[in-house]
Structure 1
Amino acid sequence: MQMGSHHRDALADLLVWRRDVRHFKADPVAPEVLARLRDAMDCAPAVGNARPWRVFQVEDRAKRQAVLENFKAANDKAAELYCDEKAEAYRALKLSGLQEAPVHLAIWTETAPAEGAGLGRQTMPEMLAYSTVTAIQTLWLAARAENIGVGWVSILDPKGVKAVFDVPDSWSLTGYLCLGHPADTSDTPLLHRAGWQKNTTTYWEIT
């Protein structure tokens, strides 16, 4: 299939409008939309075709609450790194949509998959986690095309989250995502709007 300029333009729009969403409406995400997002992840590249990502759609209220408490504790600890005005600015940031988002996804990397027979990861085993990240990014862009927002919650103690889900020892937490219909839409990152930091220029050198 030959790609045309309309594909390029559509992708450019998705990249610009792909924002980390933390304010969600309570409306549920349709099952058929979630099915399409799952199918999109199947298109992601993976080292040695190992496809190491493992996804939990978290519906259990107790598990959700445990993750929320984990976040609150980790967030309080992170806030201690800052002083004075920066500390105040940090605490004013909304850094997760855990309480509002209708869909929670806990995404793990299987660090010892049989699939792929070790191809491509002997010298860089971290390629497995990178593969999971590409699957998350693929889901993220597909979600934006569905007008679904995604927020990646990184302020978590992964050991604590792992204990909540009782996953195999070989599984490593790569991402905890909140999904839902955005309460508002903007092509300006939230951290820009909050005055925390604007984008730096991509380092790209010819050598």
Structure 2
Amino acid sequence: MAPPVFDEAFRARLTELMVWRRDVRRFRRDPVPPALVARLLETAALAPSVGNSQPWRFVLVEDAVRRAKVVANFERANAEALGDYSGEQARLYASLKLAGLKEAPVHLAVFCDEATLQGHGLGRRTMPEMLDYSSVMAVYGFWLAARAYGLGAGWVSIFEPEALTHELEVEPDWKLVAYLCVGWPEDEQAEPELQRAGWEHRRDVAEQIIRR
């Protein structure tokens, strides 16, 4: 099979997709077809992985009781996080919508199986964290694919991860990498929400390049 040729128009659209890949926190409650979710997971699993280990483990959280525990976990962790700030920054933090857990029709937890034997340890003897990085690549692949279908995803990181692992009843040695809220966005913006809210602005890429 001949490799595809990606022209300038495709490259421009790919960049546009990345620009519009936003962290979504406000969702419509319309359901997402299960077949579409399955297709997105298949796309995510095309991610590169160290030693072809494929360490990601996708957990669709569909049970209402478990979802309620996830929300409670977030609310505890978020209240504790608020205590790290004071003054105007605390006021701003409290005003931010940092998760769409109650509205999003799809909850997806992504874990890394750090005990996997697949890949026979190739590439991770000195950098075992490559398993985590591989799982993150799968998350990003899912995120971009979801956006291409008009879906939004929000990455929630304000959790007590050990408690969440217990609440979802997954293998205790799996490491939580991401918890995604997925659904149809209420509105769509190219500018990051935290930038619009005045929390933090994106830096120019020139500031992030170091030459040696």
TM-score, normalised relative to structure 1? 0.98
1:157 correspondence with 2:160: yes
Q: Which residue of 2 is the match for residue 25 of structure 1?
A: 28
Contact 2:152 2:182 in 1 (8 A): yes
Q: Which residue of 1 is the match for residue 10 of structure 2?
A: 7
Q: Which residue of 2 is the match for residue 88 of structure 1?
A: 91
Aligned equivalents of 1:68, 1:130: Cα separation in 2: 26
Among 141, 146, 157, the alignment partner of 2:144 is 141
Identity of aligned residues (%): 46
Aligned equivalents of 1:201, 1:158: Cα separation in 2: 32
Aligned equivalents of 1:132, 1:30: Cα separation in 2: 24
Q: Which residue of 2 is the match for residue 189 of structure 1?
A: 192
SS at match of 2:31: coil
1:206 correspondence with 2:211: yes
Q: CA RMSD in A?
A: 0.8
Q: Tell me the amino acid that sits aligned with residue 29 of structure 1.
A: V
Query: Which string of whole-angstrom CA distances, capped at 9 and with x for unpartnered residues, describes residues 115-155 of structure 1?
Result: 10001111000000000000000000000000000000000
Q: Which residue of 2 is the match for residue 51 of structure 1?
A: 54
Q: Which residue of 1 is the match for residue 124 of structure 2?
A: 121
**By how many angstroms is 1:87 displaced?**
0.5
**By how many angstroms is 1:112 displaced?**
1.2
Count of residues in Structure 1 that have an aligned counterpart in Structure 2? 207
Q: Tell me the amino acid that sits aligned with residue 126 of structure 2.
A: T
Q: Which residue of 2 is the match for residue 78 of structure 1?
A: 81
Question: Can you give the 5+ residue segments of structure 1 that lack an aligned partner in the other structure?
Answer: none
Query: Which string of whole-angstrom CA distances, capped at 9 and with x for unpartnered residues, describes residues 64-93 of structure 1?
Result: 000100000000000001111110100000
Aligned equivalents of 1:121, 1:31: Cα separation in 2: 35
Question: Can you give the 5+ residue segments of structure 2 that lack an aligned partner in the other structure?
Answer: none
Q: Which residue of 1 is the match for residue 68 of structure 2?
A: 65
**By how many angstroms is 1:43 displaced?**
1.2
**By how many angstroms is 1:170 displaced?**
2.1
Aligned equivalents of 2:102, 2:169: Cα separation in 1: 22
Q: Which residue of 2 is the match for residue 35 of structure 1?
A: 38
